[in-house]
Structure 1
Amino acid sequence: MTQLHSEAHPETDIQWLIASDLDGTLLDHFSYSHQPADATLAALEVNAIPVILNSSKTRDEMLVLRQALNNQHPFIVENGSAIFIPRGYFPNKPELAREDAEFWILEPGARRQDILAFLAKDAEKNGAPYLNFDSASTEEIVAATGLATHEAERANQRDYSEPLLWQGDEQQKLAFAARANAAGFSTLQGGRFLHVLGQTDKGRATNLLKKTYQNYTRRECRLIASGDGPNDLDMLNVADIAIIVRSPAHPPPDLPYHPSLLVTRETGPQGWADAIGDIFAADSPYPAQMRN
């Protein structure tokens, strides 16, 4: 798709936002290629429809991928723990945001050092049937993830969460999750890792960013969200239109009762591009439905 149907987002109507997972969604599950989605991403940019990258990845990882995808929009890291908005993207800094040299930063999640302090205290009493990134060597992270050495180093530059490669049984995992919750944290099972983070998720952070857009535009903001795994469900649930991108590695996650749900035929970035094209096609029921 190289052109979007212009009537799908008339200037006086709706400001569309697209929140998207990366691995297995915009990036191929095996090759990490985004090439099948490139033309669609370029068309969305021309039509002033922001694509908000929303991933379990760290800030450093996301900066590399934003550059590869020619993306200059806000992005969400570590499963909804922090939102990075380029300075000057909105007319002024959002309330409650802190800033550094490049970004305004909203932080609905917890700081990594607080999570590590909880893990250390919990391990003293209950043991640690897991390998966590902070205590792992780069070589161990490479072995656990399949990442290259430099990629593993970026993956460990975390600020808001801690991935655990669980080595205990399911009963131990449930007990650990209960203790984390009692301490004010949450756990989220990703594809390979159990993530410990603050009381946030991809959906809460997406909603917060959507409200921030709404504060700076006179048009109604509507959200399309896309993902391929269980840790994307919170984000998909808050979307006006949800796209489940089919995976070659696992069945689509279950998202019952969503009023506007697409499950792609193709996998990865090709499925993503096809779904976006279907939504903004001239004969699509979706934009007209959302204007009612």
Structure 2
Amino acid sequence: MTKKPAEIIFTDLDGTLLDHATYSYERALPGLDLVRALRIPLVMVSSKTFPEMAALHAELSLHSPFIFENGGGIAWVEPSGDEEFSVEILGIPFEEIRAAVPAVEEALGFAITPIGDLDDGELAARTGLTPERVRLAKMRRASMPFIVPDAAARIDLESASARVARLGLVVTRGGRFYHLIGKGADKGEAVRRVIGYYLRTWGWDSLESGGIGDSENDVPLLRAVTMPVLVRRHDGSYIDCGFEVIKTAEAGPAGFSEAVTLLCGEE
């Protein structure tokens, strides 16, 4: 690393901190231990819902904000009061996105199936989530994951987003599903807001920020930080970010730990 170590780190979850298939973070523990030892804020950034991420936030004993539903919302840690988090919604509320599905299908030229329309058994089979986690995954506030008729088909994200732009929406893709989210409410905008919060809190003019991700919906996150790290995907491939990034040799949680080591200047 030629820059000074990261002073804050943002990370994707599925396929990065969490294993793509098992959701285990065992191989991410070295990285998690390092950020704790160095007292570096670790901000989770994911397509997961608020309750899914709140549970993991507690399990990992984190104390920083987290960004849920691809930047559709930020959960700010409350220093006092009855509520543990103060939730800020940046995008279009889920109910409005769901109501726009017929218009989205007309714009795209094909039918889509929101994951909330799948029965719990099918969603569990597609994701490997437990029944309780399936229930939490359906509790959307500011985005809508969906599948397309041909599971093998890949939507051109730029073209699809252009088609739904008049609806105020953007199409992006995570590790398993496509997602509809409000235009301008992506991971990058949420990351910039969190960075701004820490600058104000610490009284700094600038800071070094690290970002870790593996999927197309992580590109805005990686663009928003000073040190972007792209994790190898579970199939051995890398996405094309279109700009310079550091790439890990390891995949998934092991890649997360490798990325943290690089970002902290411990390599």
TM class by shorter-chain length? 0.7 to 0.9
CA distance in 2, matches of 1:204, 1:272: 22
Q: CA–CA distance in 1 between the matches of 2:88 and 2:27?
A: 32
**1:233 corresponds to:** 219
Given the alignment, which residue of 153, 172, 175 partners 1:191?
175
Q: What letter is aligned with 1:206?
A: V
Matches of 1:70 and 1:164 in 2, distance apart? 31
What CA RMSD, in Å, does the superposition of the two structures yield over aligned residues?
Answer: 2.8
Give the TM-score of the pair, scaled to structure 2: 0.86
Contact residue 38 and residue 69 of structure 1 kept, 8 A: no
Paired amino acid for 2:187: K
- Cα distance change, pair 49–65 in 1 and its aligned pair in 2 (3 A): same
- Aligned-pair CA distance for 1:242: 0.8
Q: Which runs of structure 2 are paired with 1:262-281 in the superposition (5 Å)?
A: 262-281=246-265
Which of the numbers 107, 111, 126 marks the counterpart of 2:89?
Answer: 107
8 Å contact 2:157–2:171 — kept in the other structure?
no
Partner residue of 2:25?
34
Q: Which of 216, 223, 238 pairs up with 2:201? A: 216
Q: 1:239-254 alignment to 2 at 5 Å?
A: 239-254=225-240
Q: How many residues align?
A: 260
Provide, for residues 171-218 of structure 1, a one-character-per-residue CA deviation record: whole Å limited to 9, x for no partner: 899876444211111111223322111112111110111111111112
Distance 1:26 1:269 in 2: 5
Given residue 199 of structure 2, which amino acid in structure 1 is its aligned partner?
A: Q
Paired-residue identity, %: 29
Aligned with 2:13: secondary structure? coil
Residue type of the alignment partner of 1:188: T
User: What is the correspondence of 1:115-134 to structure 2 with a 5 Å cutoff?
Assistant: 115-120=97-102, 122=104, 129-134=111-116
Opposite residue 138 of structure 1, the aligned amino acid is D
Unaligned segments of structure 2, at least 5 residues? none
Secondary structure of the residue that 2:34 maps to in structure 1? helix
Q: Write the distance in 1 (CA, Å) between the matches of 2:265 and 2:194.
A: 26
Rate the CA distance shift 1:213–1:130 in 2: closer, same or farther, 3 A.
same
TM score, norm. by length of structure 1: 0.79
Contact 1:112 1:162 in 2 (8 A): yes
* 1:241 CA displacement: 0.6
* Aligned amino acid, residue 158 of structure 1: R
Structure 1 gaps of 5+ residues are 1-7, 10-14, 90-98, 285-292
The match for 1:136 is 118
2:134 is the counterpart of 1:152: yes
CA shift, 1:117, in A, is: 1.4
Alpha-carbon distance in structure 1 between the residues aligned to 2:133 and 2:50: 12
Equivalent residues of 2:21, 2:128 under 8 A apart: no
